[in-house]
């Protein structure tokens, strides 16, 4: 169940509010414990230990799908058994209930484990007084990466099962992030052993048909930073990049590139397919990776990384009055690649008006209440992970986010918003005119109005303003 649906069900009395609020508080503690962890087994142990400790489960286990996709490996077990080398240490894909859950992406629930025909050792269930069983697939992009299972001496209630499903989503994201990090770490080591060339020389090798300009004095970069530059170059090579500039500044190294837009893809599709992982890693290293359209004909990519390459830590505090909001936005932070901490200097995400006066900067969770004074930004239950990450980045840099959106939105006409949205999809004036059945001159007229109203000099600035204020 999605968190917004869960929230709605709770508000309408479809679930036991007292029980589910307690379960949400406990699940949030488990989710918070995953923040900043990039080791697969450590993440798995924190989840299984948390389920046994906070939900009184007699056994919790987590399997990961092996790289060859033919079996699952047990990497964490808590409760009755701590070992991971027993009969179920490896389960063939499609075998037993765990293998079927992974293969078919279907969760399984039972409160009569000893009576289930698929249970091979019914006496074990009876002798240990085990009644409840829940098994959930850990899914990322429609692909199972593992299975989480819990065994209980009591019947599993609906409220706990709904919370468990949400916890599985958070766990899957945390595990997938750790997997990506391990792959990148291995690539760093491989790059370190295979080449002693400077970054500029290695970029020339990859971008052999691209005009490359070096600006500034080249400085040695550590492996993580070099990896992101080289992987970005590999993508630019396939996109037929025209020109690149490698810039060594006082505190950062940057790669600026331009390549033509092909009709086969839009900027949004391109960023999702090619740069999602690198965007996350760049942010993780304290930098950024952005793209922007140039008059609908070309794309500009700017990668900027600090020389230190330090990992960003504890970017956001979350302190909500409502446990369900606490878990919902913890979940959203995990999806956004943000780290949660308690430092007073961090931006505070809250729905508690009493916290505003003591916080350095506040991101307010807007519901039906009036927006209070003294906040820096506002979000709501419909905010996406990408929007939350953009919001936090804006607040950290001293800018507001979303507060002036209503005034700007009222200032823009429906047609102007429509054209601005189509522009962010990489469409040219001609394409927009065809979609809206208007002339190209009319499109240009509306865009000139947008630039004036948003006080933007270029279309890229207008798009950035609209995104920052949550208009598109």
* Stretch among 179-183, 226-230, 403-407, 448-452 having the lowest mean pLDDT: 403-407
* Stretch among 139-148, 246-255, 385-394 having the lowest mean pLDDT: 385-394
**CATH number for the domain whose boundaries are 405-468:** 1.10.10.10
**CATH number for the domain whose boundaries are 195-306:** 3.30.565.10
- 276 — pLDDT class (breaks 50, 70, 90): low
Which pTM value belongs to this model? Answer: 0.56
- Distance (Å, whole) CA 180 – CA 31: 19
Sheet of 298-306: strand order equals 211-215, 243-248, 252-260, 298-306, 288-294
**CATH number for the domain whose boundaries are 3-181:** 3.30.450.40
Per-residue DSSP letter, 111: S
Residue spans per domain, the chain: 3-181, 195-306, 317-396, 405-468
Q: What is the mean pLDDT of residues 354-367?
A: 84
Give CA torsion, residues 441, 442, 445, 447, to 10 deg.
-110
* Stretch among 38-52, 219-233, 361-375, 398-412 having the lowest mean pLDDT: 398-412
Residues 283-296 pLDDT 10s: 667 778 877 776 66
Residue of 451 and 370 predicted with greater confidence: 451
- Distance (Å, whole) CA 157 – CA 134: 11
Sign of CA dihedral 59, 65, 71, 73: negative
Contact present, 23 and 55 (Cβ < 8 Å) = yes
Contact present, 40 and 179 (Cβ < 8 Å) = yes
- 458 — pLDDT class (breaks 50, 70, 90): confident
């Amino acid at each position: 169940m999605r968190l917004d649906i869960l929230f709605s069900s709770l508000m309408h009395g479809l679930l036991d509010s007292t029980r589910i609020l307690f379960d949400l508080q406990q699940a949030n503690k488990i989710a918070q414990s995953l923040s900043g962890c990039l080791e697969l087994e450590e993440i798995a142990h924190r989840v299984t230990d948390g389920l046994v400790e906070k939900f009184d489960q007699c056994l919790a286990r987590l399997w990961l799908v092996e790289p060859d996709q033919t079996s699952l490996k047990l990497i964490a077990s808590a409760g009755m058994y701590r070992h991971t080398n027993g009969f179920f240490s490896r389960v063939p894909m499609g075998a037993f209930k765990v293998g079927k859950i992974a293969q078919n992406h279907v969760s399984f629930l039972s409160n009569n484990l000893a009576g289930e025909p698929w249970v091979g050792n019914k006496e074990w269930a009876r002798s240990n007084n085990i009644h409840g069983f829940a098994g959930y697939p850990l899914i990322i992009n429609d692909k199972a990466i593992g299975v989480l299972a819990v065994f209980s001496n009591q019947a599993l209630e609906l409220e706990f099962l709904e919370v468990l499903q949400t916890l599985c989503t958070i766990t899957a994201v945390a595990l997938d992030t750790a997997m990506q990090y391990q792959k990148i770490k291995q690539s760093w080591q491989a790059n370190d052993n295979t080449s002693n060339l400077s970054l500029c020389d290695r970029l020339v090798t990859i971008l052999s048909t691209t005009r490359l300009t070096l600006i500034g004095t080249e400085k040695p970069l550590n492996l993580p930073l070099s990896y992101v530059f080289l992987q970005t170059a590999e993508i630019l090579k396939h996109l037929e990049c025209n020109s690149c500039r490698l810039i060594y500044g006082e505190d950062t190294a940057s790669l600026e590139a331009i390549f033509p837009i092909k009709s086969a893809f839009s900027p949004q599709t391109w960023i999702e397919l090619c740069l999602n992982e690198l965007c996350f890693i760049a942010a993780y290293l304290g930098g950024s990776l952005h793209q922007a359209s140039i008059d609908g004909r070309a794309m500009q990519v700017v990668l900027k990384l600090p020389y230190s390459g330090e990992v960003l830590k504890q970017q956001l505090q979350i302190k909500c009055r409502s446990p369900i909001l606490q878990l919902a936005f913890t979940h959203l932070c995990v999806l956004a690649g943000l780290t949660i901490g308690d430092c007073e200097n961090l931006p505070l995400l809250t729905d508690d008006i009493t916290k505003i006066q003591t916080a350095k900067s506040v991101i307010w969770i807007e519901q039906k209440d009036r927006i209070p004074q003294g906040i820096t930004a506002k979000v709501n239950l419909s905010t996406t992970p990408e929007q939350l990450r953009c919001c936090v980045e804006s607040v950290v840099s001293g800018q507001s986010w979303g507060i002036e959106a209503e005034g700007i939105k009222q200032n823009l006409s429906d047609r102007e918003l429509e054209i601005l949205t189509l522009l962010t999809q990489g469409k040219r004036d001609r394409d927009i005119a065809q979609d809206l059945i208007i002339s190209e001159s009319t499109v240009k007229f509306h865009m000139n109005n947008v630039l004036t109203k948003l006080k933007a000099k270029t279309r890229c600035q207008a798009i950035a303003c609209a995104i920052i204020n949550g208009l598109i």
